[in-house]
Structure 1
Amino acid sequence: MLTAHPYLDAPAPLAFAHRGGAAEGAENTTEAFARAIGLGYRYVETDVHATADGVAVIFHDPTLERVTGERGRIAALRWADLASVRVGGAAVVPRLDQVLDAWPQVRFNIDVKADGGVDPTVATVARAGAGDRVLLASFSDARLARLRALTEGRVATGLGMRGVARLRMASLHGRPLRLPPSVVAAQVPVRYGRLRVVDRRFLRFAHRLGLQVHVWTIDEPTEMHELLDLGVDGIMTDHVGVLRDVYRSRGHWAA
């Protein structure tokens, strides 16, 4: 039986707007989130860094350059510096607390991208009273351990890269595996390099442990259908319109 957690209180399969739907234009902005939520998305994947003065902000990269064309590391800038950054006249670096407050009905999948973002993210989630509607994720197992310790296991978490590797190996060899109680989902790519991760064996094993399996980042409708046929519990996509249409065609769109 899959883990019952408030974060997962919607019918599976879940549909996640990756960075708010990065293929549609702006990513990780209030405009991107509003667009996805306007389409009916109730799960949004996003990324968090912390500023030099300890503000948790929504941004994927450690530097501004790719998104804004400007130089500067998020961790070296103060919030006042980032608040004035514009692309096409629009603000591109929202605060985490602003986003959580703006959409209290939405579940946020928060990838904490750097060690410095751990404490500000946890503090922001606590102040917003959003512990039941966020999942804290990271590629770093050490970072996730710190997130779990600070939240005392009360906030849903995913698995880091080593955790996913352990889960995959255990599924292949039928080995017992103990996971922290706050882990409610394995959020994984279909494959790492040439190694296939998501198959029926992996799904069955994860489900026996009470975990949902969410797959990223899937943008082609054929692959979306294949994964849904396989039995995945959620899909993350940059192409929010495409995933919505696929879910609608299968009767999964609950918005």
Structure 2
Amino acid sequence: MNREHQPHPYLGHRTPIPFAHRGGAAGGIENTAAAFRRAAGLGYRYFETDVHATADGRLVAFHDATLDRLTDAAGRIRDLPWSEVAEARVGGREPLPLFADLLAEFPAARWNVDVKAEAALLPLLGLIREADAWDRVCVGSFSEARVARAARLAGPRLATSYGVRGVLGLRLRSLGVPAFVRAGAVCAQVPVEHAGVRVADRRFFTWAHARGLQVHVWTVNDPDLMGALLDLGADGIMTDHLETLRSVFEARGVWH
């Protein structure tokens, strides 16, 4: 097999990998320490989260750019100091965590981190360096430019996935269409389909695997679709419904 990419320690888990998307967003307290504790209690060791930087540079694990939708507070995270963001409560009861605190609380966990804003990138790389968490974090973003910048700044010790433009390049190349694809990423994290066009099909998996790339599919909550993706060769599945994914994996004897 032609391996363009060397295995990264982040991927040191027997595949397929179950990912707790936002700690298990179906519970309504997504991206909180309570959500990740619940995921850990169910046996999950790979967590997906998102990061934003506050006005004073603190790195918060939270999906939205604003507090309005999910918390009892309001405002853009980038415009607020951590002292104000810390008062917000997800679902009216759970505080937003600092990503540094999550890294410390779950030392056995590996994190897939979606960098939601440019201002969060340097604080994230600084935290990974300070915590020596190179083997525990994979950096992704919808922005291919942002994740490519992370890879340039940190070098091969940092695991990265592809942004939207990178996934498009991979898809085109899997179909035999010439396209630029950044070297050095360790995985492709893709939706089942985008804009009505299938992405995660057998041809895509085969092409990616031949080049040493794992393929992780998001966000899958239907058990039949989970099974179909595993049959196609998915190396990881991200889900909001933690018990459902665990049951599918257990039924197939792949829950490790």
Q: TM-score when scaled to structure 1?
A: 0.95
CA distance in 2, matches of 1:107, 1:43: 5
> How many residue pairs align between the two structures?
253
Q: Where does residue 72 of structure 1 map in the other structure?
A: 75
Describe how 1:47-196 pairs up with structure 2 within 5 A: 47-87=50-90, 90-173=93-176, 175=178, 178-181=181-184, 183-196=185-198
Identical aligned residues as a percent: 52
Q: Which amino acid letter does the alignment assign opposite residue 12 of structure 2?
A: D
Is the 1:84–1:91 contact (alpha carbons within 8 Å) kept by the matching residues of 2?
no
Kindly state the Cα deviation for residue 88 of structure 1 after the two structures are TM-superposed: 6.0
Moved over 2 A (4+): 86-92, 174-180
**Alpha-carbon shift at residue 34 of structure 1 (Å):** 0.3
**8 A contact 2:29–2:94 mirrored in 1:** no
Indicate yes or no: 2:211 matched with 1:248: no
Report the equivalent of 1:221.
223
CA contact (8 A) 1:47 1:58 kept: yes
Q: Mean Cα displacement is larger for which, 64-73 or 235-244?
A: 64-73
* Alpha carbons 2:51, 2:61 under 8 Å: kept: yes
Q: Could you say which residue in structure 1 is the equivalent of 2:9? A: 6
Unaligned runs of 5+ residues in structure 2 are none
Residue 70 of structure 2 aligns to a residue whose secondary structure is helix
CA distance in 2, matches of 1:62, 1:180: 30
Task: Please report how far the alpha carbon of residue 87 of structure 1 lies from its aligned counterpart in structure 2 after TM superposition.
Answer: 4.3
Cα drift, residue 91 of structure 1: 3.6
Do the aligned partners of 2:220 and 2:240 also contact (CA within 8 Å) in 1?
A: yes
Tell me the residue number matched to 1:32. 35
Q: Distance in 2 between matches of 1:205 and 1:176?
A: 14
| Letter in structure 2 aligned against 1:115 | E
Displacement, 1:152? 2.1
Q: Is the 8 Å Cα contact of residues 52 and 59 (structure 2) preserved in structure 1? A: yes
Measure, in 2, the Cα distance between the counterparts of 1:177 and 1:228.
28
Partner deviation per Cα, 1:36-94 (whole Å, 9 max, x = no partner): 01100010000000000111110000000011142110000111111122246634310
Q: Output the aligned Cα RMSD.
A: 1.5
CA 1:235–1:88 in structure 2 vs 1: closer, same or farther (change >3 Å)? closer
Corresponding residue for residue 232 of structure 2: 230
Normalising by structure 2, we get a TM-score of: 0.95
Range that drifts further, 29-38 or 172-181 = 172-181
- Quick check: 1-10 or 229-238, which moved more? 1-10
- 1:245–1:144 Cα change, 3 Å: same
- The alpha carbon displacement at 1:153 in A equals 2.8
| Gaps in structure 1 of 5+ consecutive residues | none
Partner secondary structure for residue 173 of structure 2: helix
Q: How far does residue 145 in structure 1 lie from its aligned partner after superposition?
A: 1.8
Q: Secondary structure at the match of 1:26?
A: coil
1:108-148 deviation per Cα after TM superposition (whole angstroms, max 9, x unaligned): 00000011111111111111111111000000011112211
Residue 178 of structure 1 and its aligned partner are, at CA, apart by 5.0
1:156 deviates by 0.3
